[in-house]
Amino acid sequence: MIIEQEAHHTNTHLLTTEFEYAAPGSIAETLALLRARGDEARVLAGGTYLLVQLKMEQLSPRSLIDIRWLPELRGRSFEDGARLGANETIRAVRDDAHIQAQYTALAEACAAFGSMQIEIMGTLGGNVCNGSPASDTVPALLAFDAELDLIDPDGARTLALADFLRGPGRTALRPHELLKSIHLPLPRPGTGSAFIKISRVVADLAKASVAAVIVRENDRIVDCRLAFGSVAPVVMRARRAEAFLIGQAFSTETALEAGRIASEEIAPIDDVRSTAWYRREVAKALTHDAVQLAWERSTGQQANGREADRAVVLLTPPPKRVMRPVAADEYREIKLVVNGAAQRLWVKPNDLLINVLREKLELTGTKYGCGLGECGACTIHLNGRPALACLVLAVAADGSEVSTVEGLQGADGKLDPLQQAFIDHGAFQCGYCTPGMLMMTKALLAENPTPSQDDIRDYLKVNRCRCTGFASIVRAVLSTVEPNGTH
Ligand SMILES: Cc1cc2nc3c(=O)[nH]c(=O)nc-3n(C[C@H](O)[C@H](O)[C@H](O)COP(=O)(O)OP(=O)(O)OC[C@H]3O[C@@H](n4cnc5c(N)ncnc54)[C@H](O)[C@@H]3O)c2cc1C
Ligand code: FES
Ligand code: FES
């Protein structure tokens, strides 16, 4: 269960809130639209948080402005520390070799997300702007002293992340403001970092999390930042624990004492995920483990840091998808290629792709499970990448290629080798869950033709249902890689 607030409304397969939709082609157009629409507009990035809020009727904006395709919000550059475009996906940040080497805690925070589909769809900017104290990336960003590049119709400003976080779901973002990019200073030589999250199950938000950044000189800690998630109204630094560690030689006792101090500094509450008591207790262990790991990594990262000093700029070329505003009650024609066949469909802004596939195209293999991004039953491929059809607006998919489970079967009716392997290995969850498992494993094999068992489990982390076994699914996937099923 990922939703943070209480639901106000019964969840149905429809998105009942009505809104205008627009996909501007530049920041300038976006800012003009934001100014024109005033407080009634919201920007839509990956949609993995916003569309759930709309579905649950926790928000009802009159206008959604899709910023996913804005070229100015994309890209990762490493000329002066790291500058990460707000629209970089969690998965892209997780996989970036420079982030892994220099900002290890951030890569680990991205890998700690409860769902691979959310990692692929969700953005770093969305994770920061939703202001959740349970966000996974924010503790790591805070521990690296991140600054935010913000822009609104009146100009640009830079704000420390620490000053941006105001309370649960509240930030210092102004009504017409966009987060453009996030800047992380270059770590000092001798820096090591780690992120650790504890949650009820893998596919969940944190009960508690910590990011530790340590700077080491010889046998001493000369600088240290500890940032905690899910233990206070905002992600917070434990400054007394940091001050205690600075100047100390590392030892188990020192790390344990830092944990004890941190557990007194945090301000946890009882909620559906945990109790305040447990959070205080587990914060001690998390601090110890993260400080130790960061310390152990601090030697290695010196070398990596030097290696990565070279100016490197990686830019993801943005697909251009512009759409002039579509009124809330207007039908707009979209073009899709679904399982290889061109389709023209008339949709309203609040039509979800899952319903268009199931009801207009009668592709009922894509299942409606939770409708909130939590089960993976609705997984399709959107432009070759897994996506949750229950969290995609059909209008926003205009121009896309879509594959559903029906498309796995060849034109001659022959099953895909992966489908056959599922049959041969009895690798089934129920009829709701199996199509999503197939679409995910197909995507995994396209991305990584020789996955390990751990790769398979990680990729399918949100699809795993507790009512059946998972071992036969892993065996089935591995059997398509090596015929004898061993790996
Ligand atoms: C099933 C499920 C699992 C999840 N698991 C995790 C998890 O493990 N860890 C975690 O931290 N989060 C998790 N989330 C929460 C969410 O998916 C992430 O926070 C994600 O990174 C949000 O990014 P997005 O691009 O989808 O944001 P959106 O939903 O598009 O937007 C979120 C908010 O930020 C605003 N916004 C987005 N981009 C900008 C910008 N550039 N400028 C100004 N405002 C902006 C939007 O207006 C909106 O208010 C989960 C959500 C679901 C549904
Ligand atoms: S994730 Fe889409 S229906 Fe459950
Ligand atoms: S609900 Fe489908 S296998 Fe559990």
Structurally, at CATH architecture level, domain 71-314 sits in 2-Layer Sandwich (3.30)
CA 42 vs. chain centroid, Å, equals 19
Q: State mean pLDDT over 24-51.
A: 94
2 has pLDDT over 80: no
- In angstroms, the CA 70 to CA 22 distance is 12
Centroid of ligand 2 to alpha carbon of 343 (angstroms): 23
Domains of the chain, by residue range, sit at: 20-69+318-405, 71-314, 412-481
| 388 CB within 6 A, ligand 2 | yes
Centroid of ligand 3 to alpha carbon of 375 (angstroms): 9
State the number of CA atoms in the 13 A half-sphere of 118 facing the CB: 28
The DSSP symbol for 358 reads I
In CATH terms, the fold of domain 412-481 is DNA polymerase; domain 1 (1.10.150)
pLDDT of residue 316: 53
- In angstroms, the CA 49 to CA 357 distance is 22
| 470 CB within 6 A, ligand 3 | no
| 432 CB within 6 A, ligand 3 | yes
- In angstroms, the CA 449 to CA 106 distance is 26
pLDDT tens for 177-188 read: 999 999 999 999
Return the structure tokens found at 17: 């809130």
- In angstroms, the CA 282 to CA 414 distance is 52
In this structure, the number of other CB atoms found within 10 A of the CB of residue 348 comes to 19
Ligand 2 atom with least separation from CA of 368: 3
Q: State mean pLDDT over 416-445.
A: 94
| 368 CB within 6 A, ligand 2 | yes
pLDDT of residue 273: 93
Centroid of ligand 3 to alpha carbon of 482 (angstroms): 27
Instruction: List Cβ neighbours of 355 (8 Å cut-off, separation of 6 or more).
Output: 13, 14, 394
300 has pLDDT over 60: no
pLDDT tens for 68-92 read: 989 899 999 998 899 999 999 999 9
Place of tokens 């990922």: 2
Class of domain 20-69+318-405: alpha beta
Q: State mean pLDDT over 282-294.
A: 98
